[in-house]
Amino acid sequence: MVRFLIYSLNYSPELTGIGKYNGEMSSWLVNNKADVQVISAKPYYPEWEVHPDYSGFGYKTSVESDVLVTRCPLYVPAKPTALKRIVHLASFALTSALALTTKLFSSKTRPDVLFVVQPTLFITPVALLFAKLVGAKTVLHIQDYEVDAMFGLGLANEGSLLSRIAYGVETWLMRRFDVVSTISFSMMEKAKQKGVNADQMLFFPNWADTDFVTPDVDGSSIRNEWGLASSDKVVLYAGNMGAKQGLEMVLEAASQYQAEINQAAGTVKFVFVGAGAHVDALKQMAQDLQLDNVIFKPLQAWEDVPAMLVMADVHLVVQKKGAADAVLPSKLTNILSAGGRSVVTAEVDTELGQIEANYPGIYTLADPENLDAFIAALDTELNKIDQNDESHNVIARNYAESNLNKDAILSKFLDNMQQLVKQ
């Protein structure tokens, strides 16, 4: 039996992103005879507010679905800025280091594999030291290249002394892990460019629950509950509403659709589901533009997600330039599993661009931060609704079944970890 310690900023019950994947992975591993412990922050994402059940300044330890979880306090800014994010990440690194140290004093809590999730890179120095002291194998799992994301979004200048130091430290730390895994082939190539050896690399993609998220559910009840007519063409964005998404462009598009009274495509409604640092600003922008075709809804319970995905006619996976190079959006896995039609903003030479080229029709690609290109792509997908006899995107669903099956991905990962421990 392999003993895992998952060390990550995010964990269940967070409903989106990294926390969701970590929670699902832990449950799957436990169900497949592995021992799992977790050190994480108190859940706060994507609302940027610690969940009420986890309030207070102290630590909280509990057993959740046979997983020993230690929740660490941290600074969570109500309105994240670049500097506040750094303080936020550093605070978790400090408080979690104390939690990690307690694992040194009992052989029962010493792992075979220390599984560290980036972001955040701040926790890697103490993680490497801990692993050396207890003799654990180390895995750095990259969900997001946070250094690349920071500079790609213009938070600091490329080529500056700060950027050279940041990239240098990043490379030095990455190369000291036994295994560096990440979620896409383009991100694997980026790791190699940063100096990681090819024999260190492991492809460990995000997955979809293809048995639960299917096209074969009824989304009409959610349409009715949200006041959407059966004749409406529903464009859905579900997920984090932060800086890197650039959702202001979607509202600008909504304004143009609203102005076109006699639309061939019919009445187009834009639905935003989720939370994030920019949600209040987006709501204000929608109000300022007097948009009657925009609806905001909070995050939905996981059991309602399949119906929510199916009720939408077109899904949006949008990011700013640079962000699409650094991150493969996890929300896309469930969209594909639901057989959703979607518009994805990314450059053609990114992973997302390569998937679209290899699987024509899986989604429509649009140049990031280009309003005209975005509207053209959205028109393309909206026009397919009346022209296609299929109730869902068959290409997307087939791709999900072949490439995103949760059991297949996690079984392969566990096999890899068993081999690592034997080395």
For 231-258, the pLDDT digits (tens) are 899 999 999 888 778 899 999 999 999 9
- What's the token pair of residue 372? 């005209």
State CA 281 to chain mean position distance.
Answer: 22
Alpha helices by DSSP H, listed for 116-184, are: 124-134, 146-152, 161-174
Q: Which of 17, 272, 316 is nearest to 144 (CA)?
A: 17
Q: To which H or E segment does residue 379 belong? A: helix 371-387
In the numeric block, which tokens belong to residue 371? 């309003």
Q: Which residues pair with 272 in a beta bridge?
A: 237, 296
Give per-residue pLDDT as tens, 15-36.
888 999 999 999 999 999 999 9
SS (H, E, C) 34-69: CEEEEEEECCCCCCCCCCHHHCCCCCEEEEECCEEE
Alpha carbon of 260 to those of 29, 41, 252, 257, 323: distances in Å? Answer: 52, 47, 13, 5, 31
Q: What does DSSP say about strands 35-41 and 233-238: parallel, antiparallel, or unpaired?
A: unpaired
The CATH classification number of 3-207+405-422 equals 3.40.50.2000
CA atoms within 13 A on the CB side of 365: 19
**Cβ atoms of residues 208 and 306 within 8 Å:** no
pTM: 0.85
CB 403 within 8 A of CB 198: no
Burial of 105 (0-12, 13-18, 19+ CB in 10 A): exposed
Euclidean distance between CA atoms 62 and 70, whole angstroms? 7
Question: What does the pLDDT read at residue 262?
Answer: 47
Contact predicate 183/163, CB 8 Å: no
Tell which residue, 273, 280, 322, has the closest CA to residue 49. 280
**Phi-psi region for residue 66, left (φ > 0), alpha (ψ -120 to 50) or beta?**
left
pLDDT of the chain along its 423 residues, tens only?
Answer: 899 999 999 999 998 889 999 999 999 999 999 999 999 999 999 889 999 989 888 999 999 989 999 999 999 998 887 788 889 999 999 999 999 999 988 877 889 999 999 989 999 999 999 999 999 999 999 998 887 776 665 555 666 777 788 888 899 999 999 999 999 888 899 899 999 999 999 999 999 999 999 999 999 999 999 999 888 999 999 998 887 788 999 999 999 999 875 455 568 999 999 988 889 999 999 999 999 999 999 999 999 999 999 999 999 999 887 655 545 577 899 999 999 999 999 888 888 888 999 999 999 999 999 999 999 999 999 988 877 667 899 999 999 999 999 999 999 999 999 999 998
Sheet of strand 201-203, all strands in order from the earlier edge strand to the far edge? 60-64, 67-72, 35-41, 3-7, 113-118, 137-142, 179-182, 201-203
Residues of the chain above pLDDT 90, percent: 70
Is residue 321 within 8 A of residue 368, CB to CB? The reply is yes
The predicted structure's pLDDT at residue 186 = 84
CATH homologous superfamily of 220-402 = Glycogen Phosphorylase B; (3.40.50.2000)
Could you tell me the CA-to-CA distances from 337 to 257, 350, 356 in Å, in that order? Answer: 28, 21, 16
Q: Which residues contact 418 (CB under 8 A, 6 or more apart)?
A: 2
Counting every residue written for the chain, the total comes to 423
Phi, psi of 317 (to 5 degrees): -125, 95
Collapsed DSSP state (helix, strand, coil) of residue 13: coil
User: Domain boundaries in the chain?
Assistant: 3-207+405-422, 220-402
Q: What does the DSSP 8-state code read for residue 300? A: P
Q: Are 319 and 246 in contact (CB under 8 A)?
A: yes
pLDDT at residue 276, rounded to an integer? 85
